[in-house]
């Protein structure tokens, strides 16, 4: 049936009204949906950033993933890896005397070496060994005195008018026991004489006995003799 002009105007008005209502509904629904997803994204971004509020800048959850990567890499170290101890070992825990005790023994050895290398052709044996008093045992003092007074040695010293200024240094620790320690000591004699002047360095094995800060040299021989 063909509609009259008036009927067509009524139908057109109803369609326009219906379309307007549908547009309002669609627009309103779309607006509500956008607000909800935006709040969810903001909340996720805020959590991903550690709760610092960086999500308010529009950061997406995907962009916050790198922030979690340090904890992943830090836990990826080998489980069997042991920590490295770079501290120096306390070697004195392996020795039968203290650090002060060893230092005292070394001091006696050096002082003895310097005295042993210091002499003059004008000195007799008693004066020579007197410089070592308190550094050597009585037995060793007698042996040194006898060697110094030996006819061949004494006559050569006198004929060349030898005068020596001695010095000493420890080059190594050879051996030790509960009450003894042996150092290798390089004794240098700076000799002034009518013949063969100059420095002469000889290495000795110097053994000390005692303990703590009370040590005496009890043995002396050439390094190559192998005394321990």
Q: Is the pLDDT confidence value at 25 over 90?
A: no
In a 13 Å sphere around the CA of 71, the CA atoms on its Cβ side amount to 4
CATH architecture for segment(s) 96-225:
Roll (3.10)
**Element counts in the chain: helices (H) and strands (E):** 6, 5
Instruction: Note whether 155 and 184 are within 8 A (CB).
Output: no
Instruction: Note whether 46 and 63 are within 8 A (CB).
Output: no
Q: Is the pLDDT confidence value at 28 over 90?
A: no
| C-alpha to C-alpha distance for 17 and 26, rounded to whole angstroms | 14
Instruction: Note whether 218 and 190 are within 8 A (CB).
Output: no
φ, ψ of residue 83 to 5 degrees: the values are -65, 145
Q: For 101-123, how does the pLDDT look when each residue is reduced to its tens digit (9 = 90+)?
A: 999 999 999 999 999 999 999 99
Is the model more confident about 50 or about 88? 88
Which of 6-15, 39-48, 149-158: highest mean pLDDT? 149-158
Q: For 58-91, how does the pLDDT look when each residue is reduced to its tens digit (9 = 90+)?
A: 333 333 344 444 444 444 445 555 555 567 777 7
How confident is the prediction for the chain on average, in pLDDT? 75
Nearest residue to 210 via CA among 161, 177, 171: 177
Q: Are strands 119-120 and 163-176 parallel, antiparallel or unpaired?
A: antiparallel
Instruction: Note whether 218 and 139 are within 8 A (CB).
Output: yes
Each domain of the chain, given as residue ranges in start order, spans 1-49, 96-225
For the chain, first and last CA: distance in Å? Answer: 135
């Amino acid at each position: 049936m063909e509609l009259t002009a008036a009927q067509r105007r009524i139908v057109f008005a109803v369609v326009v009204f219906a379309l307007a209502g549908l547009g309002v509904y669609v627009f309103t629904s779309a607006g509500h949906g956008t607000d909800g997803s935006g709040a969810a994204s903001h909340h996720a971004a805020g959590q991903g950033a550690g709760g610092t509020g960086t999500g308010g800048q529009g950061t997406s959850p995907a962009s916050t993933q790198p922030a979690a990567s340090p904890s992943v890499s830090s836990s990826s170290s080998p489980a069997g890896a042991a920590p490295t101890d770079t501290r120096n070992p306390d070697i004195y825990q392996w020795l039968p005397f203290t650090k002060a005790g060893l230092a005292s023994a070394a001091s006696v050895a050096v002082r003895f070496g310097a005295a042993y290398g210091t002499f003059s052709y004008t000195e007799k044996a008693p004066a020579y060994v007197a410089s070592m008093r308190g550094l050597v045992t009585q037995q060793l003092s007698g042996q040194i005195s006898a060697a110094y007074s030996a006819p061949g040695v004494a006559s050569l010293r006198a004929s060349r008018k030898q005068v020596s200024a001695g010095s000493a240094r420890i080059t190594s620790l050879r051996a030790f026991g509960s009450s003894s320690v042996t150092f290798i000591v390089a004794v240098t004699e700076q000799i002034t004489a009518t013949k063969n002047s100059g420095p002469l360095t000889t290495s000795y094995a110097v053994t000390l006995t005692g303990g703590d800060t009370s040590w005496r040299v009890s043995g002396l021989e050439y390094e190559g003799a192998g005394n321990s």
